[in-house]
Structure formats: C-alpha cells, structure tokens
C-alpha cells in the first residue's frame, strides 16, 4: 500500500512538472518562418471597464523548412519590429499558435532563400 501511494505521489509530481514546463502551444507543431516587412493593421476593442485593447494583425507568407509557402494570419499584443524574422509554430496547415523572433542565420536554407528573394 505504501509503495502504491509513493508511486502515485511520484506520478502526480511528474505530471505537475510537465504541465508547468511544457508549452503546449509549441509542442509538436510545424514550423514556418516569416519576415515582418510592413506595419500591422490595428483593431481596437473597448472593454466594459472602458479600457481599450489593441491587437496588431499580420497576414504574411510563411515558409517551411523545405521552402514551401503557406499564408498565415496572426495577431500580437504589440506592434512587431519591422524587419524582424519570426519562427511560427503552426497547426492544421496555417493556424499560428505561437512564435519566437529568430536571427536570419537560424532559418533553414530553403526558407531563408524564399524570405530573402
């Protein structure tokens, strides 16, 4: 009985650690790369409290590691830096779940050629 409770405790702690450290918006997703070349369209929403929220929307071509293109649409809470390169985490073909800024030299060659060309 004590061994079963101990094992259950270890499993519970393990599950808590996994849920606290794994970003499920990135885990197991496809990757594609974009270059921020133009300003975003801004949409404002007024909350019941009177506060105004701004979302910055982007619609850009994204290139997978093999150079294949897909168009992505995503939003950000702030305007992204012009000329930034982003690695997009994508599911279901072109649904962006998250992104990270990357340097040009971190982008796979075939995708980099498309972004530079």
Q: What is the pLDDT of residues 65-78, one digit of tens each?
A: 999 999 999 999 99
Domain 26-116 has CATH 2.40.50.480: yes
- Look up the pTM and report it: 0.72
Q: How far is CA 6 from the centre of its chain?
A: 38
Where exactly are the structural domains of the chain? 26-116
The pLDDT of residue 107 is above 90: yes
What pLDDT, on the 0 to 100 scale, is given for residue 26?
A: 54
Dig out the tokens for 75 from the structure.
Answer: 């939003």
In contact, 53 and 63? CB cutoff 8 Å: no
What pLDDT, on the 0 to 100 scale, is given for residue 24?
A: 53
Task: Give the C-alpha separation, 55 to 77, whole Å.
Answer: 5
């Amino acid at each position: 009985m004590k061994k079963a409770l101990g094992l259950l405790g270890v499993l519970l702690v393990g599950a808590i650690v996994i849920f606290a450290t794994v970003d499920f918006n990135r885990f197991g997703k496809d990757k594609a790369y974009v270059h921020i070349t133009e300003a975003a369209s801004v949409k404002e929403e007024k909350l019941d409290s009177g506060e105004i929220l701004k979302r910055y929307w982007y619609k850009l071509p994204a290139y997978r590691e093999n150079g294949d293109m897909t168009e992505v649409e995503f939003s950000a809470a702030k305007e992204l830096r012009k000329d930034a390169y982003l690695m997009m985490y994508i599911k279901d073909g072109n649904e962006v779940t998250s992104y990270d800024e990357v340097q040009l030299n971190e982008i796979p060659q075939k995708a980099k050629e498309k972004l530079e060309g």
